[in-house]
Chain A
Amino acid sequence: MTTTEVPLGGSVLAPRSIIWKRLRRLLLGWLALPLSALAALLIGALLILGFGANPVTGYHALLSGAFGGSYALASTAQKAVPLLLVATGICIAVRANVWNIGGEGQIVMGALASTATALALPNLPAFVLLPLVVIAAACGGAIWAGIAGFFKAYFNVNEILSTIMLNLVAVQVMNYLLSGPLVNKSQSFSITGLIPQTKLLSKNAWLPTIMSGTQLNLGVVIAVAVAVAVYFLLWRTGFGFRIRAVGLSRDAAAYAGMPVKRTVMNAMVLSGACCGVAGAVLVFGSISHRMVTDGSLTGFTGNDGFNGIVVALFGGLNPLWSILSAYLFGGLLIGGTSMQAIIGVPTDLVTTIEGLVVIFVVSIDYLRVRFRIQEEAQRLERDKERAPESSGRSLLFKLARARA
């Protein structure tokens, strides 16, 4: 390193390093997120080419399927609803440092609870039945998550283990109920046994469409309302404060006299409630207006339980920003289905691209943050030096002096 060649007040290195710094800030600040998603999509384009289809047509189909026109925008919003609800639930849980991987199971239990309610009380007027099924769904999900929360709080059973196991239990309970007690027995058309689905659910419980000609229904309002409510809960109430405190440091919170075990349990219960409501939206906002399964969890939830985790983390564990990340992720999913249908590539290609987007975006995120931290540190140092040169040069200068 040619330290002696760096003049004190001169400007030999200044322009280059400043330009480089500004470029880096531009890249990492503004463009990191879109660029990383773009990188993932480029690899996806290569895969599309490998299947003999045209990536340009494909991505055009993806964009127009997700955002092109009012119908597409409505479909994306509708897809985003369960993602947002799950993400809100994850925000609560992870803020308390409880990793709720059981979203899938909680969605299903919420859906089952709400379906059972609608089947049991079909003739209640809509303004009673609809809130009732949503509450039932919340209870279903809350109880299911509460089991894991209870074991975590009072028996120190790791929540990742219990929620994954409870997912496995949930799928069997769903299969049992949908082929047994809840099945539509009057399937006169079917000589081949009863399809595991329920009767057409009471019209009083259908989520009303709020934009005619589309599938956009009241679920959107419910989801956004829940997200806003949880935001206030987490940052404006004592309850939320305790959740966040326990998440940051259990020991400190215990020392401060907070009921740690109860808080952990509450966080899981609330988290499950949100996921349960997602289940209700999936059933009562569906095209078929009934609950039907093919025997697997994903067949009903479409992997929302896991995608919701991704959405929550992309939203910085903040329900309000999760609204946006849910919308974008929903766009990716809906657009992907469009793309598959239009250019005829296998469905798995879309899944692969989704995985790549998650990988790339999550990888770049910390770099961005770390760059910001570095920048801040250097700026502070610069102020301390009270020297007009850039921090890079003053650092160089210091090193030069040290060497000498």
Chain B
Amino acid sequence: MSQFFTYTILTATIASAVQYAAPFLLAALGETLGQRSGVLNLGVDGIMLLGAFSCYYVALETGSDLLGILVGMGVGAVLGLMTAFMSVTLKATQGISGIGVYIFGLGLSDLLFVRFVGTPLPVNPLPAVDIPLLSHIPALGRMFFQQNLLIYLAFLLVPALALVLYHTNYGTRVLAVGENPAAADSLGISVTRTRYSTVMLGCTMAGLAGSTLLLLDGIFQENLTQSAGFIAVALVYFGAWRPAGVMTGSLLYGVVTAVVLQWKSLGIIPTSAADLAATAPAVITILALVALAGRFKQPAALGKPYLRGA
């Protein structure tokens, strides 16, 4: 146990936790935006997978990670359009349409992978960018300020989303549409347009999350996300639909996972107990939420398609 509490290992563990948490954070922030406007999207995992594959394929063929990221986001946006169309215009039951998108994304991403890639080759991972000055802070610098650009972006989006939600007109519209679409409608806010925009933005972020995960792993594989999208949706509830809460949840989940992995590899957790130890992130997340005792209510219109006059 004492070997864990060394400077190198502690800082490396937290750095690893931050990296692990980033894709969850991105997807969860996007889902938060969508859910705030009243749309539940359970298909996040499928969108992450398709975004990850597109990023991989483009990066592989062109050698440019940046192009891959942009295409990944673009694919997310297209799928967002499709999701919005189903949920807002066609008013399909949101839980089930999401699962359909998940199954579709799971199958299509691997199908395209098998068809177009054959034997997989790795792509260049994103280089770590040390933030001048801050990265030299002992301990904290190694943990937080020597990550790649996408990780910084993920954490910067937390205050950005909070700003948008609470301090812009757009954000006010989003919140209104999520709480009381009928009232918003009567005030002249287009429920349809608002929901389309939040869902598309949210799915773009899911595509970005997939790309981030891919560039962290360096290669694509079938079911790369391993249900990360569902965990991201769960984290939205944990964070009580607030960006800061979502960030806390993602970091908590990431830190517990990284610590368990580190303890496993150091032998602190024997192999026989390894499986039970791996339940720690999930258990701690639930217990943490129980302890915080849900004082926050969900957006009143979450999951209900809006029909004018209904």
Residue of B whose beta carbon sits closest to that of A50: B115
How many inter-chain contacts with C-beta < 8 Å in the A-B complex? 156
Report the minimal beta-carbon distance from A312 to chain B, rounded to whole angstroms. 9
Residue of B whose beta carbon sits closest to that of A175: B275
Query: Footprint of A on B, CB under 8 Å?
Result: 42, 46, 86, 90-93, 95-97, 99-108, 110-111, 114-115, 222, 227, 230-231, 233-235, 237-238, 272, 275-276, 278-279, 281-283, 285-286, 289-290, 293-294, 298, 305, 307
A365 CB–B CB distance under 8 Å: yes
A349 to B222 CA separation, bound complex (whole angstroms): 13
Segment at the interface with B among A13-21, A162-170, A379-387: A162-170
State whether A168 touches B282 (Cβ < 8 A).
yes
A128 to B140 CA separation, bound complex (whole angstroms): 62
State whether B107 touches A349 (Cβ < 8 A).
yes
Q: Decide yes or no: A310 and B100 within 8 Å by CB, A164-B234, A166-B282 being known contacts.
A: yes
Report the minimal beta-carbon distance from A249 to chain B, rounded to whole angstroms. 13
Report the minimal beta-carbon distance from B186 to chain A, rounded to whole angstroms. 21
Neighbouring A residues of B108 by C-beta, 8 Å: 348, 352, 355
State whether B100 touches A358 (Cβ < 8 A).
yes
Query: Footprint of B on A, CB under 8 Å?
Result: 47, 50-51, 99, 101, 151, 155-158, 160-162, 164-169, 172-173, 175-176, 179-180, 303, 306, 309-310, 313-314, 346, 348-359, 362-367, 370
A356 to B103 CA separation, bound complex (whole angstroms): 8
Neighbouring B residues of A179 by C-beta, 8 Å: 275
Q: Decide yes or no: A359 and B100 within 8 Å by CB, A151-B286, A168-B279 being known contacts.
A: yes
- If over half of A's interface residues share one DSSP class (helix, strand or loop), that class is named, otherwise mixed; here it is helix
Q: Decide yes or no: A168 and B237 within 8 Å by CB, A161-B286, A348-B108, A363-B97 being known contacts.
A: no
Neighbouring A residues of B107 by C-beta, 8 Å: 348-355
Residue of B whose beta carbon sits closest to that of A179: B275
Instruction: Out of B92, B227, B289, B293, name the residue touching A365 (CB < 8 Å).
Output: B92
Q: A155-B290, A180-B275 are in contact. List 9 more A-B contacts (CB 8 A).
A: A101-B230, A158-B298, A168-B231, A168-B281, A172-B276, A351-B103, A351-B111, A355-B102, A357-B100
A348 to B285 CA separation, bound complex (whole angstroms): 33
Report the minimal beta-carbon distance from A308 to chain B, rounded to whole angstroms. 10
Instruction: Out of B101, B275, B289, name the residue touching A157 (CB < 8 Å).
Output: B289
State whether B92 touches A363 (Cβ < 8 A).
yes
Neighbouring A residues of B282 by C-beta, 8 Å: 165-166, 168-169
Residue of A whose beta carbon sits closest to that of B230: A164
A356 to B97 CA separation, bound complex (whole angstroms): 10
20 chain-A/chain-B pairs, Cβ below 8 angstroms = A99-B95, A155-B293, A157-B286, A160-B237, A161-B235, A164-B230, A164-B231, A165-B282, A168-B279, A168-B282, A306-B103, A309-B99, A348-B108, A358-B103, A359-B101, A362-B92, A363-B90, A366-B92, A366-B93, A366-B305
